Amino acid sequence: MAMDPPARPSSSLFDVYLRLRPSKTGDARFLTVEDGEGSHPTHITIKPPTDDKRKRAVERFAFTQVFEEDARQTELFKGIGVVPMIEGVLGAPGHHGRDGLLATLGVTGSGKSHTILGTKSQRGLTQMALDVLFQSTGEQLVQSFYGAPAFTSLAGADVSEAHMFTATAFLDSMYGDNQSESRFSRAQTPMADCSSFITNGGSRSNKIPRPSTLPQSPSVHDIDIPVDENAEYAIVISMYEVYNDRIFDLLTGTATKNKHPNLKRRALLFKSTEQSPDRKVVAGLTKIICGSFEEALMVLETGLMERKVTGTGSNAVSSRSHGFFCVEVKKRDAKRKGSWSSSTLTIVDLAGSERARNAKTAGETLAEAGKINESLMYLGQCMQMQSDHQAGSRNVVPFRQCKLTELLFSNSFPSSTRTAHYHHPQKSIMVVTADPKGDFNATSQILRYSALAREVTVPRIPSTTSTHILASGPAKSIGTCSGRSTPSGRTTPSAILEELDAANAEIARLTAEVEIFALRLVEETARRKAAEASWRAAEDHMQDLEQELRDECFADMEAAVDAERRRWQFALDNEQDSQQAHLDSKIDVVIKATKAQMRDEVKVYEDPDPELQDRVDELERENEVLRARLEAKEREGQLKSASPVKKMRVLKPKKWEDPEGGIRMGLED
C-alpha cells in the first residue's frame, strides 16, 4: 500500500511543508517530487549519488505539501495556512486569540531567509503576515503614544517584566534627531544575499532610511480576515535570538553598545513570572508598540541588524543564531475598556545545519556550528517523537533539552491553572527548505527528522549472477509484501529488512552525534585552554594585586602615622600658645594694675633692701634718742619759764625722702 501523509492529530506539534529552491549548481539532482493523487504533491524520493560508496538506501518522505522550485511567495503564504493562523491569533468575536508559530528549517544556503524574510525585490512571509495583520485591524488599532491610557494599560498588562516603548520613542533613541517623526522609513530589508546589514558588514547607519526602498510585492490586499468589530487591538513587537544556547534581546544591543562600548550583552531567562505562573515567558525583553505597518518594518530591520551572522565556506552570510520575531496581538472590548487578552504570532528563522568539512569553520565559528547542530539534533528528536505520537506512542516529548526546543514547544500543549484561564495549544507550521542538487548528506538528515512519514528501500548491489534477476522487475514496496529478493535470488524476511532500516537510521544518528561530540570536544578543549590561561593570568593578577595592596596598606599606614604626628604636634603647639597667651594675659593685668596705681598715687609697699632696712632701723633708734632728748629739753624750758599760758612748741615730724624718689617715709613710720 502507498504511504500517505498522516492527518495532523491533536498530539502533533507541526504541519510540515517542504519548499525546494532553484539550484544554481550543475550537480546531479538527487531529489525527485512524486506526482500526487490530489491537487498538490506530498511525497518526495531521494536517491544517493551514483558515486556513493556506502550503498545507502533510497528513501521516500511524506509532507503536508511539497512546493517545487517554481512556487512563488504568494502561493506559499496561502498554501501553508498562514492566513488561518493569523485569523486564529486575532481571535473570533468575543473569544481570545490562539498562539501561532511559523518556523523555517533547512541546511545552510537552502533558502530559509529568502522564504521567511524575502529579497530586495520581494517580500517574505514575515512582511506579508505583518501587512495582513495591520490591514485587518485597520482603524481598530489603539493610539499608543506616551501618556495615552492605552499605553499605560498595555504596560500594566504585560506579564513578562518587559521594557515597553512606543515605536517613535524607540526609533528616536536608536537613530536620534527625531527622524522617525518626520518620516516612517527604513533601509533595505536585511534579507538573504542582498540585505543592507550584510552589505554594510553588520554595521548600522545612524540615518533612518525611507520606506520607499522596501519591496512592495507580492501584495496581500486581496486577503480579507474578519475581525471583532466590538474590540480594539494593539500590536506589540519583540525580537530575540538563541545564540550558543543563550537568549539575547535584539532590540537593545545597539543602544546599549553605543552608550557602553565595553559592556557585554546580558542573557535573558525563559521562566515563569508572578503574573504568568502557568506559562514560561522570556523575561526582560524590550517590546515596541507599533501603530502602523511601516513602524513594524523599521523595528524588524533594527533587530535584524543585531543578529549574529558570519561568512562560511557554505554560505557567505550564515546566521549563527536562531532568530525569533514575536508579534503580540492585544485585544479588549472597545466600550468597556476591560483587561487585555494576548495572543502571539512567533516567526522563527532557524540557523542552518552545516558540516565543518564543507563550511570550513574553525575557532569560534566552529563552536557556534557545534551549538547549532546540537540544538537542531534535539529539534529532530522532538519532531521524530511527533511521528511516534501519530503512531499511537504516549512518550513525553523531550523539549526541555535545550533553549531552542523549549521555546518552540513549551506552548504547544494545553495548560490551565486555578488562577489563569485555559490556554489553547499553539498552531505550528514548519517550512523545510531544501536544494535538490545541494549537499546530499546534510539534506537527507534534515528530511529524516522533519518529514511526517518515511519509507526506506534497501539498496541493491548488482552482480554478474543477479543481473537477470534484478532486470526481471522492480522490487515491491515494503508495505506490500513480507519479504524482498536479494542478489542471490533468496527471500529476505521483512524483519531483517526492518532491522536493517533501523540499523541505517541508528548509524546516521550516531554519525551525527559523533560529529557533534567532536565539535563539542574541540569547544571544550578550547574552553579548557582558555580557562587555564585565564587561571594563570588570574594568579599573576592576584600577585600584582597583593603587592599593590601591601604597598597601599604601607602608604596608608605611613599617611596615618604622619597625620597622627601632625595632630599631636598641632595639639602641643596649641597648648604652648594657650599657656603663652595665659601668661601674657597675666602680665597685661599686672601692667594695667601698676599703671592704675601710678595714676591714683596708690602707695606701694615693697619689701625693702636688707641694707636699707638696717639703715632705717638705725635711723629710727637715733630718732627715738633725739626725741627723748628733745622732750627732756622742753620740760626743762617749761620749768624755767614758769609761765602756764606760754604757748607750747609743737614739734612737727619731718618726712624723709629717698633720693631716687622710689621710697617716701615719715618719722612715725
Binding residues: 106-113
Is the bond preceding residue 218 a cis peptide, omega within 30 degrees? yes
Rounded CA gap, 164 and 434, in Å?
38
DSSP secondary structure, 330-393, as one string? EEEETTT--PPEEEEEEEEEPPPB--HHHHT--THHHHHHHHHHHHHHHHHHHHHHHHHHHTT-
Rounded CA gap, 246 and 262, in Å?
20
287 close to 164: Cβ distance less than 8 angstroms? yes
Torsion of CA 82, 85, 90, 91, to 10 degrees: 150
Sequence-separated (6 or more) residues with CB below 8 Å from residue 106? 112, 350, 352, 432, 433, 434, 446
414 close to 422: Cβ distance less than 8 angstroms? yes
List b or e across 502-530, with b for residues whose CB sees 16 or more CB atoms inside 10 angstroms. Answer: eebbeebbeebeebbeebbebbeeeeeee
Q: What are phi and psi of 595, to 5 degrees?
A: -65, -40
If DSSP codes are grouped into helix, strand and coil, which group holds residue 562?
Answer: helix
Rounded CA gap, 206 and 216, in Å?
24
List b or e across 22-31, with b for residues whose CB sees 16 or more CB atoms inside 10 angstroms. Answer: ebeeeeeebb
A 10 A CB-CB count for 151 gives: 19
Binding site as annotated, residues for ATP: 106-113
188 close to 181: Cβ distance less than 8 angstroms? no
> What are the residues facing 331 on neighbouring strands?
233, 341
CA atoms in the 13 A half-sphere facing the CB of 387: 20
Q: How does strand 341-349 pair with strand 322-333?
A: antiparallel
Provide the residue type at 466 as one letter. S
Our CA angle for 323, 329, 331, nearest 5°, is 165
CA 74 to mean position of chain CA atoms = 36
251 close to 298: Cβ distance less than 8 angstroms? no
Q: Which three cell numbers stand for residue 9?
A: 492529530
Q: Which three cell numbers stand for residue 212?
A: 520607499
Closest alpha carbon to 409 in 161, 103, 111: 103
* Burial of residue 302, with CB atoms counted within 10 A of its CB: 0-12 exposed, 13-18 middle, 19 or more buried: buried
If DSSP codes are grouped into helix, strand and coil, which group holds residue 602?
Answer: coil
Q: How far is the first Cα of the chain from the last one, in angstroms, to the nearest whole number? A: 163
